[in-house]
């Protein structure tokens, strides 16, 4: 693999792949670097119903694969590696990865986000032993068992609705007294007899030796403690941007997001950002794709200077 490109894209989700589609069609030698599964976080979605062009919906995994196939048709190259940093070398941007260094005139950062963790006792120790962050991945392991979902947004309710296909009961634990999920998801969840809601409650600990056995709960209003017997717990409390490798390179806000202008330009010329890593992103596949296309258009203009 040649290590010199005109555009390097970090991240192979909807933003990165859309950027790669546009830069490749512009006949710019382009490389997308992805550390996990091509398609990004959307590959965890069993059914995507709000991406234009698929009136019956499409699985997140298939959507990611289709965009990747379309981009590679125009010459986009793919490297399965993790980006570990970026350096500036004159007019070149040097991207360090776990598989070596790669240079380009322009870099588009589309490294997406990952699930936030609760940071409570037992969470790390029991991850993979009943603690999960992906119902699509692990739901079938809990057939006819009782599980909990922590969170009240779209991700949490989507997880809960998927889990009812396998489990006997799903307990949704939310620290507020109402959900933040969209109305259509709320309607589906409230109409599902297998889903039960524990309001104004947070999880303080996860217990079990070799497997999850119970959760230690606390009511955020009364302070009353309780224990909940479950076979597993699915944590869906939001996302954090994958930008740790950019510290000291780009200015990040307190939560780790990158500020851009309407052209997806960052404070450093030749470095663009798109999708979930961008400050005030809508965190939707369709808006990420739009960000990626915009970043690619202006990256092309930058490389032609």
Would you name the residues annotated as active-site residues? 134, 137-138
Q: Is 132 exposed, middle or buried (0-12, 13-18, 19+ CB in 10 A)?
A: buried
Q: CA-CA distance, 237 to 175, in Å (whole number)?
A: 10
Please give the structure tokens belonging to residue 122.
């037992």
The tokens of 299 are what? 């990256």
CA distance 264 to 293: 10
Contact 228, 148 (CB under 8 A): yes
Q: Which of 103, 118, 84 is nearest to 236 (CA)?
A: 118
Residue with tokens 């006819």, as numbered in its chain? 144
Closest CA to 194 of 127, 237, 142, 123: 142
* Extended strands (E) in 65-200: 77-80, 83-89, 92-97, 100-109, 113-115, 131-132, 146-150, 169-173, 195-198
| 136 DSSP 8-state letter | H
- Token pair of 273 as six digits: 């950002």
**Tokens 């606390």, residue?**
218
Nearest to 249 by CA among 228, 223, 277: 277
DSSP state of 57: -
Strands 77-80 and 169-173: unpaired
Pairing relationship of beta strands 92-97 and 100-109 according to DSSP bridges: antiparallel
């Amino acid at each position: 693999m040649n290590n010199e490109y005109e555009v390097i894209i970090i991240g192979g989700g909807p933003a990165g792949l859309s950027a790669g589609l546009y830069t490749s069609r512009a006949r710019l030698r382009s490389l997308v670097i992805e550390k996990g599964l091509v398609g990004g976080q959307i590959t965890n979605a069993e059914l995507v119903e709000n991406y234009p062009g698929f009136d019956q919906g499409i699985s997140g995994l298939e959507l990611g694969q289709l965009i990747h196939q379309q981009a590679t048709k125009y010459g986009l190259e793919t490297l399965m590696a993790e980006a570990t940093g970026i350096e500036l070398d004159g007019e070149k941007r040097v991207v360090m990865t776990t598989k070596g260094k790669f240079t380009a005139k322009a870099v588009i950062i589309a490294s997406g986000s990952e699930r936030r963790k609760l940071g409570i006792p037992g969470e790390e120790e029991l991850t993979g032993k009943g603690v999960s962050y992906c119902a699509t991945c692990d739901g079938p392991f809990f057939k006819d068992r009782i599980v909990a979902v922590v969170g009240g947004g779209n991700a949490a309710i989507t997880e809960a609705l998927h889990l009812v296909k396998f489990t006997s009961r799903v307990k949704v634990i939310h620290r507020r007294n109402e959900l933040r999920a969209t109305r259509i998801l709320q309607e589906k969840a409230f109409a599902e007899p297998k889903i039960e809601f524990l309001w104004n409650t947070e999880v303080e600990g996860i217990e079990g030796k070799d497997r999850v056995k119970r959760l230690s709960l606390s009511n955020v209003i009364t302070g009353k403690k309780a224990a909940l017997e479950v076979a597993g717990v699915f944590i869906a409390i939001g996302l954090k941007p994958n930008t740790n490798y950019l510290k000291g390179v780009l200015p990040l806000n307190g939560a780790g997001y990158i500020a851009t202008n309407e052209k997806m330009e960052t404070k450093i010329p030749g470095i663009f950002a798109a999708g979930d890593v961008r400050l005030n992103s809508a965190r939707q596949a369709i808006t990420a794709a739009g960000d990626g296309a915009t970043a690619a258009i202006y990256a092309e203009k930058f490389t032609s200077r």
